[in-house]
Structure formats: C-alpha cells, structure tokens
Amino acid sequence: MNDSARKPSKELRPDALGMWDLVFFVVAAAAPLAVMSGVAPLAIQFGGIGAPGGYLLGGIAMFVFAIGFTAMTRYVPNPGAFYAYISEGLGRVVGGGAAFVALASYIPIAVGFVPAIGVFAQQSAESVFGLHVPWGVWATIGGAIVAILGYLNVTLSAKVLGTILVLEVLVLLVFTVPVVVQGGAEGLSLDGFSPGNIFAPGVGGLFVLSFGAFLGFESTAIYRGETRDGKRAVPRATYIAVGFLAVFYSLVVWAVIMSFGESKAVETADSDPADMFFVAMTQWVGKPVSDAMHLLLVTSALASVLAVHNASARYLHALARDRVLPRVLARTDPRTHSPANASLLVTALTVLGVVGFQLFGADPYLQTFLWLNGIGIAGIIGLQVLCSVAIIVFFARDSHGVGIVRRLVAPTVAAVALTAALYLIVENFSVLTGAGTATNTVLLLVVPVAFLVGAAATRRAKRVRHEPRPALSLDNRLAPAPGRTEGA
C-alpha cells in the first residue's frame, strides 16, 4: 500500500457518482414499496378514493419547490444540502440551526427503520417460509449490513440501492399493468384525481401521508462533492426523482383502488390496511408475486436506512469540517474516502437509540418506528419551508439573471404549500405516530430544540475562530485550521 492510501484524509471521493446514482439514493430513501404497502392504505382510509390525487398534489408541490432549489444550486458556493442553501439566504447561524434539524430528522429515521426491518423480516419469514425468528435478530442483521455498506465506498451503496430499487419498481408494475389492462374490478375511473374527491373530509390526514412520502429528495445535493458534473447532475437527478415518485405513487395507489373497485377499496383499507396490498397482489397476479413483495418490503426498508445513514454521515462530516462539531468527525477513510468517523457515529447512535427504546419496552413498529419517523417528516418539511424562504431572499439580493418564475414565483408558491403541509402535519401528528397529545408534543419539540442548539453551536464556532470561513458546505476542499499551513 502506498503512502497516499495510508495518509489520513478529510476529503470525500470526487466524481464517484453519476446522475442515476443520485436518483437511486433519493428514491431509495423514500422507500416506495414500504410507502405503498404500509402507508398508502392509511391514505385511502383518510382520503378515500381521492388518495391518488393527494399523492399527485404532494408531488407537484415538491416539484415546484425543486424549481427554486435547483435554480439556486449553481450560485451557492459548494452547495451540499438544505442547510447550505439556508446559510446563503438567511445567514450562517440560521443555517447551522437547519443543519442540526436535519440531523435530528435523519438520524431518528435511521433509528426507527432498523427495528422496522426486523418486524418486516419476521413477518415475511413466517408468511413465506414458515420460519419463526425474533425481530431483534433480523434487525441486528439489517443494522450490521447498513453499518458496513455505510462505511465502505459510496459507489457500492449506489449499486446496492439501484438493484433493490429496480426490483421494487418491477414488482409493483407487475401488479399495476394487469389491473389497468383488465379494467380493474369495476372498470377504470379517474374519479380519484377530481378535486371534489381529493379535498373531501379527511384531506388533512391524506396530505400528511402523501407529503411525507417524498421524504429526503434534497439528498441529491448532499452528494454534490462526490458527483461528476454536479452542477448539472444535481438538478437533473432532483427533477427525475421527484417526477418519478409523483407519477409512480399516484399510479400505484390508483391501481390498488381499481383492483378492489371504488365501492370496496375504502372498506378494505378500513378493515385490513396491513394486508390490503398483499391481498390485491395475490388476487391479481398470484401468491408468488405477493411473496416476492413480502421479501422486497424488507429490502426496501434496508435500502431506506442505508440512504438515510449515508445522508446523516455526510451532514456530520460537513459540520465537523466547518468546526461546528469536533473535527475528528471530518476524517475519511484513506482508501474509500467515505466519511468513516461520521458513519461510525451514526451507527453508534442508531444502536443506542434502538437499544434505548427497547429498554423502555417500546413496541418496535408502533412506537420506535412511527414516533421517530414522525419527527423526521416534521423536521424535513420544516427545512423545506425555511429553504424556500432562503431562496427568495438569496435571489432578492442578486437575481443572477435567473427568471422571475424560478427565483420568486416557484419558491413563493412552494413556501405557501409547504407551510400548509407543515401545519397539517402538526395538526394531525397522531396520524403519523398513533400517540397521544403529550407524547406528540414532546416529539414535535425535538425540531425547534435542535434548531436552537444548532444555531447556538454555530454562533459559538464563529466566536472562537480567528479567520473567516465559507458557508456550511460539503465541498471536498478543507481550509487549514487557524495558525496552520496546508503542510502542517
């Protein structure tokens, strides 16, 4: 091994990823199969036959947000994620608060999804193979796989996520196509996309679930420093990912409703939401495909945890490079150039979180997963609102020649729509968590507390520095510490 391979590094590997790798990271983080089988029946419960339109509207809102988000990408020095944009638009302290909100959103999702892997695997093993293995065993195996892949080269993670994602999409299309071709149970209808059905009673719960289904599409920007031609790849990947999820979600939910018929779909969602998708699969394409969906549900959760783990590690790495967190977290593996120490910390926090919840006797799915996922959804939607405002302010100072639609109209519309979505999430938080008022209040307080801690930490980091530093970023270049030279 040569000296360069052994030399400690703080740089992520440049040009490791292509545009489609970014798409895989975004879509895998959203866990489309898990969303469709586990969440979409609840959306049908709340939104009735208007559920497909609810997912489509959620996608349109995210697409409008992406217009301003991608317009700003080219003009933000070393953009890495929401907080880099927020730092440029609203200042470094606000950006630091946003960074901690991101951590307080992503890491709980990673913690919550690990026991969910165990529960999904336990159910799948019993249903498909007749094996009775405790969920904790499966969760340990899944968590170990994520920890190893998260530590290794990001290219390997992209390949794993891409493979899993293709299989997820294929199994859902194998179901959707026959339903459409054969006309469903009662004939095809587009009533699910009519405004009257979308905005029917229960729309609050529907939008909470549909907006939450697009979780984490900003992760295209997280990998900017590791992507070939990032200025072009990031916007393209963002549009492709959001557009795909919007069309895919609405199409599959519509197909499920058609498979039962509009008269029976809501009744089935009310009586048996957990098995609704599997019943439809078995009826329309047979038990082997339904069994395959059971197994792929496990890998879907695994892929989501891996994507969220990688994103969390890169947030920690960026904050450490900017000296908001201890600089030891900025160290990368000299061979793979992965954010090694940050990845190890995410793994440690995940283990502590899962073990801690179990010591208190929390249910692995109904409490650990749903509660922590609820924190993540609220936090990330809040960041999207803040980022929309930051985009408006940034371009108000200098339009950079960007048209008024991209720099003002789109982010303004997105800010209004996402603020409404955030209000609905807070108002209907029990839909996400299944918990009582006191528990929901504590869970929601995590977001503003994280913001205040992050803002305070960033302000303190600014005070102790002896030289100015650039805005928070994930750029691969690291300025030398005060009083040192590059060669020191």
Across the chain, mean pLDDT equals: 88
pLDDT digits (tens, 9 = 90+) for 347-390: 999 999 999 999 999 999 989 999 999 999 999 999 999 999 99
DSSP symbols for 384-451: HHHHHHHHHHHHHH--TT--HIIIIIHHHHHHHHHHHHHHHHHHTHHHHH---HHHHHHHHHHHHHHH
- The answer on pLDDT for 468 being more than 70 is no
φ, ψ for residue 331, nearest 5 deg: -70, 135
Lowest-confidence range among 205-214, 290-299, 319-328? 319-328
Whole-number Å distance between alpha carbons of 240 and 299:
22
SS3 182: helix
pLDDT digits (tens, 9 = 90+) for 86-97: 999 999 899 999
Angle at 116 between CA 384 and CA 311, to 5 degrees: 40
If you search the block for the tokens 């803002």, which residue do you land on? 455
**Is pLDDT larger for residue 83 or for residue 477?**
83
pLDDT band at 483 (very low <50, low <70, confident <90, very high): very low
Percent helix, strand, coil in the chain, to 5, is 80, 0, 20
- The answer on pLDDT for 220 being more than 80 is yes
- Spacing of C-alpha 277 from chain mean position: 22
pLDDT digits (tens, 9 = 90+) for 118-147: 999 999 999 999 999 999 999 999 999 999
pLDDT digits (tens, 9 = 90+) for 320-329: 887 888 999 9
Q: What is the pLDDT of residue 76?
A: 78
SS3 308: helix
DSSP symbols for 312-351: HHHHHHHHHHTTSS-GGGG-B-TTT---HHHHHHHHHHHH
Whole-number Å distance between alpha carbons of 349 and 111:
8
Domains detected in the chain: 10-464 (1.20.1740.10)
pLDDT > 70: what percent of the chain? 91
Work out the average pLDDT over 303-316. 90
Of 114, 3, 135, nearest to 369 by C-alpha is 114
Whole-number Å distance between alpha carbons of 316 and 83:
12
Here the tokens at position 449 are: 């507390």
pLDDT band at 475 (very low <50, low <70, confident <90, very high): very low
pLDDT band at 8 (very low <50, low <70, confident <90, very high): low
Q: What is the pLDDT of residue 343?
A: 94
pLDDT band at 43 (very low <50, low <70, confident <90, very high): very high
pLDDT band at 470 (very low <50, low <70, confident <90, very high): very low
pLDDT band at 480 (very low <50, low <70, confident <90, very high): very low
